[in-house]
Amino acid sequence: MNSNKIMELGHTIEDSKKNYPELTDEILMELRMWAEERGLKQVPDEILALFAHSCYFNVENAKRCMDVYYRLRATVPEFFGNRDPQAEYLQQSLRALQFVALPKPDKNGYRIIFHRLADTRPSQYSLNDGIKLLQMSLDGSLYSEGCTPGYIFLFDMQGVRLGHLTRLSVTSIRRFFEYIQEGLPVRLKGIHVLNAVWFIDKILGLIRPFVKRELFDMLHFYNGDVAEVYEHLPPECLPKDFGGKLDYLETLHGTYIHVISKFKNAVVKFDVAFPYGEKHDEYSKFAEATKDAMDLLVGEVGIKDFGNKDNADLAKRFNVEKVDYPVVLLFTQGQSGPVKLLAAHDNDFTADNLKRLVKSKTGIYIGLPGCIEQLDRLAEEFKNSGENKRHEIFQKAKVFEETLPENDRPKAKVYVKMMEKIFDRGDVFVQTEQSRLEGLLKTKLSDAKKRSMEEKINILHSFTHRDEL
């Protein structure tokens, strides 16, 4: 079983199976194999369960849902790229919008995602950013709650003007509805719209071509007394702003800033407000390479030392000095403070080194050049096992090597050879060999030789205990 305990979920696969006996190991295995065939090798069972549950355990429908989910997340950066809440452009939208996953479900157990304008000026509204933040709050709820009976979207149109229509994009509308109808791993149960504006027919005309009848039937509009919605959503699960018993929206929205806490690990680059250069390019490569690691948040904080000095307080809080920009910090839940991974003066400020550091300090699986995932996992098991178990793992590695295509076998042989060396010299071999290779890398080498040594170092990291790094 693929049980990824790194993701900071408020639930486990065992919880999902207990609540939904229809979720079987066979379903999870079929979805996992389907995902791996398409290059999705890091999907935890808890996430596979969301897709299976959202499609009422129809495996083929779950596969189609996963296909749309991962395709859109990879190709629509407007919704899913750079989701760092501290990014300046998102900070503006955080001020312009209020949204939150309300803390109390309705009587059916449906979770409620709320969204409304805080700043009613059309110039401050961005549809793409609004959708991005809506999806981030929904993701946070999914990570926390896991498989739930259903979700309800609750929108308040108070303050929406005709000018807001000019801020809409047909392309974004089409992609949004494709995502929520075909790629969202939840059971969507309803969409309720409070304070519907007089020109709602114009908005419906824009979205109608992209909305299926099933979703259209879920739409409910209210333009009178807010009490009209109580038939569907009782006061017990609504904010005080709408006659409910929950806290005021301002307070509930403020808690969203803690979305980052849904992730056990977050890597953040502190840099000038408008970064450029090789180190920024390497960090961008790292962010791209880890975008599918759902248990890792990767972001940037742009700092200004002029004007309103955006984010200067954050830099001071985490002891980041301007002379060190860019600085990459790793935040881990349960730790008193972040760990500095790299700074401008470090020679090896590369995407591959960042991946090595994050992998070694967090345990998150990140594929590195020269590495083979199954053998990395055997190496992880090997280093944490006793002598007898190590011999069993060694035999597994040798057998696995024989099953690989011819061009992958040289890499696999490196894993097997390292296990043999550890048997012969002990665990100290890993450190001494790493030091030897790093020393050789500083000498004059051909590109091919250098690449070969870097790949061996990557494999060595799979055998390294975290407290040795």
Phi/psi region, residue 101 (left: phi>0; alpha: psi -120 to 50; beta: rest), is: beta
Average pLDDT over the chain reads: 85
CATH 3.40.525.10 residue ranges of the chain are 78-258
Give the pLDDT score at 11.
63
Q: What is the number of residues in the chain?
A: 469
Report the CATH number of the 78-258 domain.
3.40.525.10
Q: Which contacts qualify for 213-219: CB closer than 8 Å, 24 or more apart?
A: 214/181, 215/177, 215/180, 215/181, 215/188, 215/191, 218/188, 218/189, 218/190, 218/191, 219/191, 219/193
Question: Tell me: the pLDDT tens digits for 414-456?
Answer: 999 999 999 999 999 998 998 999 899 889 889 889 889 989 9
Superfamily of 373-468 according to CATH: Endoplasmic reticulum resident protein 29, C-terminal domain (1.20.1150.12)
> 150-156 and 265-272: which strand pairing?
unpaired
Give the separation between CA 8 and CA 203, rounded to whole angstroms.
38
Q: Report if pTM > 0.85.
A: no
Q: Which contacts qualify for 164-171: CB closer than 8 Å, 24 or more apart?
A: 164/122, 164/125, 165/199, 165/202, 165/203, 165/206, 166/122, 167/122, 167/125, 167/126, 167/127, 168/127, 168/206, 169/127, 169/128, 170/206
Quick check: 5 pLDDT over 60? no
Closest CA to 350 of 289, 441, 283, 299: 283
Q: State how far the alpha carbon of 3 is from the alpha carbons of 49, 112, 324, in Å.
A: 12, 28, 38
Give the pLDDT score at 465.
67
Tokens of 143: 């990570």
Q: State how far the alpha carbon of 422 is from the alpha carbons of 241, 372, 382, 391, 467, in Å.
A: 65, 19, 10, 11, 18
Please name the residues in contact with 87: beta carbons below 8 A apart, sequence gap of 6 or more.
299, 300, 301, 302
Q: Taking a C-beta distance cutoff of 8 angstroms, is the pair 61, 82 a contact?
A: no
Quick check: 383 pLDDT over 80? yes
Question: Tell me: the pLDDT tens digits for 361-374?
Answer: 887 777 778 888 88
Tokens of 214: 């099933």
Give the separation between CA 235 and CA 106, rounded to whole angstroms.
9
CATH 1.20.1150.12 residue ranges of the chain are 373-468
Q: State how far the alpha carbon of 371 is from the alpha carbons of 157, 191, 360, in Å.
A: 51, 46, 14
Tokens of 256: 């969203």
User: Rounded to the nearest 5 degrees, what angle is found at the Cα of 201, between the Cα atoms of 217 and 101?
Assistant: 55
Question: Tell me: the pLDDT tens digits for 118-170?
Answer: 899 999 999 999 898 888 878 877 877 889 999 999 999 999 999 999 999 99
Quick check: 311 pLDDT over 80? no
> Quick one: CA dihedral 460, 292, 134, 149, positive or negative?
negative
Question: At 192, which amino acid appears?
Answer: H
CATH 1.10.8 residue ranges of the chain are 13-75
Question: Tell me: the pLDDT tens digits for 54-100?
Answer: 999 999 999 999 999 999 988 888 888 777 666 677 778 878 888 88
Report the CATH number of the 263-362 domain.
3.40.30.10
> According to the CATH classification, is domain 13-75 in 1.10.8?
yes
CATH 3.40.30.10 residue ranges of the chain are 263-362
Give the pLDDT score at 295.
67
